[in-house]
Amino acid sequence: MRTAVSIMIVFYICCCIPVSIFAAGEEIDLMSEPNVYTLVSLHPDEQNNRLYTVNYQLPGFIPMCSAVEILSLNDKKLTFKVIGRNKTYTYLYHKTSPESLKEHLNKFFGPKCNNAEVKKLSEVDQNGISMGRASIGMTKKGVLYALGYPPMHVTYSLDMNVWTYWKNRFVKMEIEFDKNGLVTAIR
């Protein structure tokens, strides 16, 4: 009996509790930073000027390393303006997100851009990043820069071979990687 209970507890911990090994860097106070940039490409709903922590892959495109001005930030939303575009966006917290809005935003916004790291990536990665799209042959790092982080409630670990994104509330997109971490399929 104890063995059965122990197995059930281990199963619950392993399968039911979202465990993440997403990069958990130092939390940055975006409101106090003099310069803030997009660390990955963003895909906003341009009609409503919105983004969500579930990271919908909508047709809008804010390239990686875009300079932004943080206008306001609380536990439920971030309001920012893309410098040079003069357009304001609201980044909304989604209830499925297992992390706080500030933890989430620290993966998408920061005081320095990683342009030098992108230049070290393959041409396939650089093209995908510049267009904000995943393509066959891209690395996991390239996909992160092009699409942003997949939602943690469906892709618990970046070590997984399939990352799931949503194109919108109803349509999923899966990106499959081979054992070397290269994109082999986009469904």
Average pLDDT over residues 162-168: 95
What would the pLDDT profile of 48-85 be if each residue is shown by its tens digit? 999 999 999 999 999 999 999 999 999 899 999 999 98
Q: Which amino acid is it at 31? A: M
Q: For the purposes of burial, counting CB atoms within 10 Å of the CB of 13, is it exposed (0-12), middle (13-18) or buried (19 or more)? A: exposed
* Pair type for strands 183-186 and 36-38: unpaired
Sheet holding 50-52, edge to edge: 50-52, 87-92, 77-82, 67-73, 36-38, 109-110
Per-residue pLDDT band for 26 (boundaries 50, 70, 90) equals low
What would the pLDDT profile of 94-103 be if each residue is shown by its tens digit? 887 888 888 8
Q: Are 175 and 183 in contact (CB under 8 A)?
A: yes
